[in-house]
Structure 1
Amino acid sequence: MATLHYGASDDAIHIEDRALAHLKIVIATKLRRNESFTLSWKHPEGEPGGRSTIWVHPSIPLRFVFDEPEAPQINVKWVEQLMHTANSSGGIMLVDEVLETPELEASNA
Protein backbone atom coordinates (compact mmCIF):
# COMPACT_ATOMS: atom_id res chain seq x y z
CA MET A 1 0.00 0.00 0.00
CA ALA A 2 1.53 3.29 -1.12
CA THR A 3 1.31 6.50 0.86
CA LEU A 4 0.62 10.05 -0.19
CA HIS A 5 1.88 12.70 2.21
CA TYR A 6 0.20 16.07 1.75
CA GLY A 7 1.18 19.30 3.44
CA ALA A 8 2.42 19.38 7.01
CA SER A 9 -0.18 16.88 8.21
CA ASP A 10 1.00 13.69 9.88
CA ASP A 11 -2.04 11.92 8.40
CA ALA A 12 -0.89 9.68 5.57
CA ILE A 13 -3.22 8.89 2.69
CA HIS A 14 -3.06 5.17 1.83
CA ILE A 15 -3.63 4.23 -1.80
CA GLU A 16 -2.61 1.07 -3.66
CA ASP A 17 0.80 1.37 -5.35
CA ARG A 18 -0.58 0.88 -8.86
CA ALA A 19 -3.34 3.45 -8.39
CA LEU A 20 -0.96 6.02 -6.88
CA ALA A 21 1.50 5.57 -9.76
CA HIS A 22 -1.26 6.51 -12.18
CA LEU A 23 -2.51 9.35 -9.99
CA LYS A 24 1.02 10.72 -9.76
CA ILE A 25 1.10 11.24 -13.53
CA VAL A 26 -2.17 13.17 -13.52
CA ILE A 27 -1.31 15.19 -10.40
CA ALA A 28 2.14 16.10 -11.74
CA THR A 29 0.60 17.19 -15.05
CA LYS A 30 -1.89 19.47 -13.30
CA LEU A 31 0.73 20.94 -10.94
CA ARG A 32 3.19 21.50 -13.81
CA ARG A 33 0.48 23.68 -15.36
CA ASN A 34 0.21 25.52 -12.02
CA GLU A 35 -3.40 24.32 -11.65
CA SER A 36 -5.12 23.71 -8.32
CA PHE A 37 -7.76 20.99 -8.02
CA THR A 38 -9.47 18.59 -5.64
CA LEU A 39 -8.53 14.93 -5.26
CA SER A 40 -11.17 12.52 -3.94
CA TRP A 41 -11.01 8.83 -3.06
CA LYS A 42 -12.91 6.14 -1.21
CA HIS A 43 -11.24 4.95 1.98
CA PRO A 44 -9.48 1.59 1.55
CA GLU A 45 -10.56 -1.54 3.38
CA GLY A 46 -9.21 -1.68 6.90
CA GLU A 47 -9.87 2.03 7.46
CA PRO A 48 -13.11 3.66 8.59
CA GLY A 49 -15.61 3.77 5.72
CA GLY A 50 -16.35 6.82 3.67
CA ARG A 51 -14.44 9.04 1.32
CA SER A 52 -12.13 12.02 1.52
CA THR A 53 -11.27 15.04 -0.59
CA ILE A 54 -8.23 17.31 -0.40
CA TRP A 55 -7.49 20.59 -2.16
CA VAL A 56 -4.22 20.21 -4.08
CA HIS A 57 -2.26 23.40 -4.71
CA PRO A 58 1.22 23.81 -6.23
CA SER A 59 2.52 25.54 -3.08
CA ILE A 60 1.62 22.68 -0.72
CA PRO A 61 4.29 19.97 -0.24
CA LEU A 62 3.38 16.60 -1.71
CA ARG A 63 5.30 13.32 -1.45
CA PHE A 64 4.55 9.93 -3.01
CA VAL A 65 5.93 6.85 -1.21
CA PHE A 66 5.62 3.46 -2.89
CA ASP A 67 6.07 0.01 -1.34
CA GLU A 68 7.16 -1.51 -4.64
CA PRO A 69 10.69 -0.58 -5.75
CA GLU A 70 9.81 -0.80 -9.46
CA ALA A 71 7.25 1.39 -11.17
CA PRO A 72 4.32 -0.55 -12.66
CA GLN A 73 3.52 -0.64 -16.35
CA ILE A 74 1.26 2.35 -17.01
CA ASN A 75 -2.25 1.81 -18.35
CA VAL A 76 -2.76 4.78 -20.71
CA LYS A 77 -6.55 4.33 -20.73
CA TRP A 78 -6.65 4.67 -16.94
CA VAL A 79 -4.48 7.79 -17.04
CA GLU A 80 -6.82 9.25 -19.67
CA GLN A 81 -9.87 8.49 -17.53
CA LEU A 82 -8.23 10.05 -14.45
CA MET A 83 -7.23 13.10 -16.51
CA HIS A 84 -10.82 13.41 -17.72
CA THR A 85 -12.01 13.58 -14.09
CA ALA A 86 -9.18 16.03 -13.31
CA ASN A 87 -10.49 18.43 -15.94
CA SER A 88 -14.05 18.29 -14.62
CA SER A 89 -15.54 20.66 -12.05
CA GLY A 90 -15.48 17.82 -9.49
CA GLY A 91 -11.69 17.40 -9.61
CA ILE A 92 -9.75 14.14 -9.73
CA MET A 93 -11.76 11.17 -8.58
CA LEU A 94 -9.78 7.98 -8.07
CA VAL A 95 -11.76 5.65 -10.32
CA ASP A 96 -11.21 1.94 -10.87
CA GLU A 97 -8.70 0.89 -13.50
CA VAL A 98 -9.97 0.55 -17.04
CA LEU A 99 -8.98 -2.88 -18.30
CA GLU A 100 -8.86 -3.88 -21.94
CA THR A 101 -10.98 -6.94 -22.64
CA PRO A 102 -10.79 -9.18 -25.72
CA GLU A 103 -14.47 -8.42 -26.51
CA LEU A 104 -13.82 -4.66 -26.38
CA GLU A 105 -10.71 -4.93 -28.55
CA ALA A 106 -12.57 -7.08 -31.11
CA SER A 107 -15.46 -4.60 -31.34
CA ASN A 108 -13.00 -1.74 -31.95
CA ALA A 109 -11.38 -3.57 -34.89
Structure 2
Amino acid sequence: MGQFIYDGEVLDLRVDDRSLTHLQIVIVNMLRRDHRFVFSWKDDVLHGDGRSSVWLHPNVSLRFTFSGSRVPSINRSWLEDLYATATSGSGLVLTPEPIDTSTAGDSAWSDAVVPGDEESSTAGDRE
Protein backbone atom coordinates (compact mmCIF):
# COMPACT_ATOMS: atom_id res chain seq x y z
CA MET A 1 0.00 0.00 0.00
CA GLY A 2 1.25 3.42 -0.93
CA GLN A 3 0.86 6.68 0.94
CA PHE A 4 0.07 10.23 -0.09
CA ILE A 5 1.84 12.85 2.02
CA TYR A 6 0.40 16.37 1.80
CA ASP A 7 2.37 19.33 3.14
CA GLY A 8 4.35 17.04 5.44
CA GLU A 9 1.26 15.28 6.82
CA VAL A 10 0.58 11.61 6.08
CA LEU A 11 -3.03 11.50 4.97
CA ASP A 12 -5.39 8.70 5.92
CA LEU A 13 -5.38 7.48 2.33
CA ARG A 14 -3.92 4.08 1.72
CA VAL A 15 -4.14 2.83 -1.84
CA ASP A 16 -2.34 0.20 -3.82
CA ASP A 17 0.72 1.27 -5.81
CA ARG A 18 -1.14 0.96 -9.13
CA SER A 19 -3.86 3.40 -8.05
CA LEU A 20 -1.32 5.75 -6.45
CA THR A 21 0.72 5.80 -9.67
CA HIS A 22 -2.33 6.89 -11.66
CA LEU A 23 -3.19 9.53 -9.06
CA GLN A 24 0.42 10.77 -9.16
CA ILE A 25 0.32 11.20 -12.93
CA VAL A 26 -2.94 13.15 -12.82
CA ILE A 27 -2.02 15.33 -9.84
CA VAL A 28 1.48 16.17 -11.07
CA ASN A 29 0.29 17.00 -14.58
CA MET A 30 -2.60 19.13 -13.30
CA LEU A 31 -0.27 21.06 -10.98
CA ARG A 32 2.30 21.48 -13.77
CA ARG A 33 -0.42 23.25 -15.71
CA ASP A 34 -1.03 25.52 -12.70
CA HIS A 35 -4.46 24.02 -11.93
CA ARG A 36 -5.93 24.14 -8.45
CA PHE A 37 -8.48 21.51 -7.47
CA VAL A 38 -9.95 19.40 -4.67
CA PHE A 39 -8.90 15.80 -4.15
CA SER A 40 -11.39 13.68 -2.18
CA TRP A 41 -11.48 10.09 -0.98
CA LYS A 42 -13.49 7.77 1.23
CA ASP A 43 -11.94 7.25 4.67
CA ASP A 44 -11.15 3.80 5.97
CA VAL A 45 -13.93 2.24 8.05
CA LEU A 46 -11.46 2.12 10.98
CA HIS A 47 -11.47 5.93 10.99
CA GLY A 48 -15.19 6.60 10.83
CA ASP A 49 -16.06 5.57 7.25
CA GLY A 50 -16.46 9.23 6.22
CA ARG A 51 -14.89 11.31 3.47
CA SER A 52 -11.84 13.55 3.37
CA SER A 53 -10.70 16.26 0.95
CA VAL A 54 -7.63 18.42 0.42
CA TRP A 55 -7.16 21.49 -1.75
CA LEU A 56 -4.28 20.93 -4.17
CA HIS A 57 -2.36 23.83 -5.67
CA PRO A 58 1.10 24.22 -7.26
CA ASN A 59 2.75 25.53 -4.08
CA VAL A 60 1.88 22.62 -1.81
CA SER A 61 4.48 20.01 -0.88
CA LEU A 62 3.47 16.52 -2.02
CA ARG A 63 5.14 13.16 -1.67
CA PHE A 64 3.98 9.85 -3.05
CA THR A 65 5.41 6.83 -1.21
CA PHE A 66 5.13 3.45 -2.91
CA SER A 67 5.58 0.10 -1.22
CA GLY A 68 7.08 -1.52 -4.34
CA SER A 69 9.85 -0.45 -6.70
CA ARG A 70 8.24 -1.42 -10.03
CA VAL A 71 6.23 1.13 -11.99
CA PRO A 72 2.97 -0.49 -13.10
CA SER A 73 1.66 -0.30 -16.66
CA ILE A 74 -0.43 2.80 -17.29
CA ASN A 75 -4.12 2.55 -18.15
CA ARG A 76 -4.79 5.59 -20.36
CA SER A 77 -8.56 5.16 -20.07
CA TRP A 78 -8.26 5.39 -16.30
CA LEU A 79 -6.14 8.53 -16.63
CA GLU A 80 -8.89 10.05 -18.81
CA ASP A 81 -11.51 9.23 -16.15
CA LEU A 82 -9.36 10.71 -13.38
CA TYR A 83 -8.61 13.88 -15.39
CA ALA A 84 -12.35 14.27 -16.04
CA THR A 85 -13.12 14.17 -12.31
CA ALA A 86 -10.21 16.51 -11.50
CA THR A 87 -11.56 19.17 -13.85
CA SER A 88 -15.16 18.75 -12.66
CA GLY A 89 -16.83 20.81 -9.95
CA SER A 90 -16.48 17.98 -7.44
CA GLY A 91 -12.72 17.61 -7.98
CA LEU A 92 -10.46 14.58 -8.28
CA VAL A 93 -11.93 11.35 -6.96
CA LEU A 94 -10.28 7.95 -7.28
CA THR A 95 -12.60 6.00 -9.56
CA PRO A 96 -12.47 2.23 -10.14
CA GLU A 97 -10.08 1.16 -12.88
CA PRO A 98 -11.85 0.65 -16.22
CA ILE A 99 -10.73 -1.59 -19.07
CA ASP A 100 -8.19 0.34 -21.15
CA THR A 101 -9.86 1.06 -24.49
CA SER A 102 -7.77 4.10 -25.40
CA THR A 103 -5.16 4.61 -28.06
CA ALA A 104 -2.08 6.78 -27.69
CA GLY A 105 -3.71 9.54 -29.74
CA ASP A 106 -6.95 9.80 -27.77
CA SER A 107 -6.10 13.15 -26.19
CA ALA A 108 -3.30 15.37 -25.01
CA TRP A 109 -3.61 13.79 -21.55
CA SER A 110 -2.86 10.36 -23.03
CA ASP A 111 0.81 11.28 -23.36
CA ALA A 112 1.14 11.51 -19.57
CA VAL A 113 3.75 9.19 -18.13
CA VAL A 114 5.31 8.60 -14.78
CA PRO A 115 8.02 11.24 -14.24
CA GLY A 116 11.33 9.88 -15.45
CA ASP A 117 9.67 7.06 -17.38
CA GLU A 118 9.34 8.61 -20.86
CA GLU A 119 11.34 5.93 -22.69
CA SER A 120 9.35 2.97 -21.45
CA SER A 121 6.01 4.69 -22.15
CA THR A 122 6.75 4.69 -25.87
CA ALA A 123 8.00 1.13 -25.91
CA GLY A 124 4.46 -0.23 -26.25
CA ASP A 125 2.66 -2.41 -23.79
CA ARG A 126 4.36 -2.68 -20.40
CA GLU A 127 3.98 -5.46 -17.85
Q: TM-score, normalised by structure 1?
A: 0.83
Aligned residue for 2:89? 89
Counterpart of 2:34, as a letter, is N
Distance apart, 1:44 and its partner CA: 3.9
Aligned to 2:78: 78
Deviation string 1:30-60 (CA, Å, 9 cap, x unpaired) is 1001111000111246543122111011111
Say how many residue pairs are matched.
101
1:20-99 matches, within 5 Å, as 20-44=20-44, 46-99=46-99
The 10-residue stretch of structure 1 (72-81 or 40-49) with the greater mean CA deviation from structure 2: 40-49
Query: What code does the residue aligned with 1:40 have?
Result: S
Task: Output the amino acid matched with 2:89.
Answer: S
Deviation at 1:9, TM superposition (A): 2.4
Task: Return closer, same or farther for 1:47/1:99 CA change in 2, 3 Å cut-off.
Answer: farther
Structure 1 runs of 4+ with >6 Å offset: none
Return 5+ residue gaps in structure 2 as ranges.
Answer: 102-127
My pick for the range that moved more, 83-92 or 39-48, is 39-48
TM-score by length of 2: 0.72
Taking only the aligned residue pairs, the percentage that are identical comes to: 40
C-alpha distance in 2 between matches for 1:97 and 1:10: 24
| Higher RCO (C-alpha under 8 Å, 6+ residues apart) | 1
Query: Does the 8 Å contact 2:75/2:100 carry over to 1?
Result: no
Q: Please report the RMSD computed on the Cα atoms of aligned residues, expressed in angstroms.
A: 1.9
> C-alpha distance in 1, partners of 2:66/2:2?
4
